[in-house]
Amino acid sequence: MARVLPAVQPRKLAKVPFVELADGRLQGVVSSGSDIERVYVSSIAAGSHGLNCSTNNNRPCGGLRGSPCKHLQALVDEAVLQYGADRVARYLRIEVDGELSSGADLVARLRGRPESSPAAVVFSRFLRHLAYLELPETTEPIPELHWFPAMGAVR
Ligand SMILES: [Zn+2]
């Protein structure tokens, strides 16, 4: 774990600062390409592949019109980096028929349509995630995290 130093310049956010496989969804937070103040909460439901993308203020994403927007594509790319393409495909129950190595391979196999999803829940998980990143560096167990079984969210 890296110690968090006070910012001397405006913080450059990662493109996808938060991604997780949880609650039956691949979900996460994707920063806007154009506006540093704005983030998108994007999710893909396992099984149905229902797609959702909206801003943290619950405005629907203008790019999500039947096919995945660039935020969903960025989310899948980041998930593939963190979890591996096979694991993401298994979690979302994407049928794999051949080569599967990139996020684009996964996105091409999504069968879902836009559907509403609770962005506020994902966003509050992201804020908790940030809070833990900013805990002082320690090797002691964090009692609040004991409740979570290791890797329990992903099966
Ligand atoms: Zn979007």
77's CB contacts (< 8 A; 6+ apart) are: 16, 102, 103, 104
Q: Number of helices (H) and strands (E), helices first, in the chain?
A: 4, 4
Q: What does DSSP say about strands 25-31 and 39-45: parallel, antiparallel, or unpaired?
A: antiparallel
Give the CA dihedral 29, 121, 80, 114, nearest 10 degrees: -90
Question: In what side-by-side order are the strands of the sheet with 25-31?
Answer: 18-22, 25-31, 39-45, 51-55
Q: 120 near 59, Cβ under 8 Å?
A: no
Q: How far is the CA of 151 from the centre of ligand 1 (A)?
A: 28
* pLDDT confidence of residue 131: 83
Say which residue, 45 or 67, is predicted with more confidence: 45
CA 60 to ligand 1 centroid distance, Å: 8
Say whether pLDDT at 29 is over 80.
Answer: yes
Please report the pLDDT score of residue 5 as a whole number: 55
**How far, in Å, is the centroid of ligand 1 from the Cα of 90?**
23
Report the chain's mean pLDDT, rounded to a whole number: 83
Verdict on whether the full-model pTM lies above 0.85 = no
Distance CA 60, CA 76 (A): 19
- What pLDDT is stored for residue 11 in this prediction? 47
Q: Which residue has the higher pLDDT, 151 or 69?
A: 69
Q: What is the predicted pLDDT for the residue at 98?
A: 80
Tokens read off for 110: 């999504």
Q: Quick one: pLDDT at residue 147?
A: 57
**Mean pLDDT in residue range 7-17:** 63
pLDDT value at residue 155: 46
Query: How remote is the CA of residue 69 from the centroid of ligand 1, in Å?
Result: 5
Residue pLDDT, tens place only, 80-131: 999 999 999 999 999 887 888 899 999 999 989 998 887 888 989 998 888 8
Provide the Cα torsion 107, 108, 110, 115; round to 10°: 70
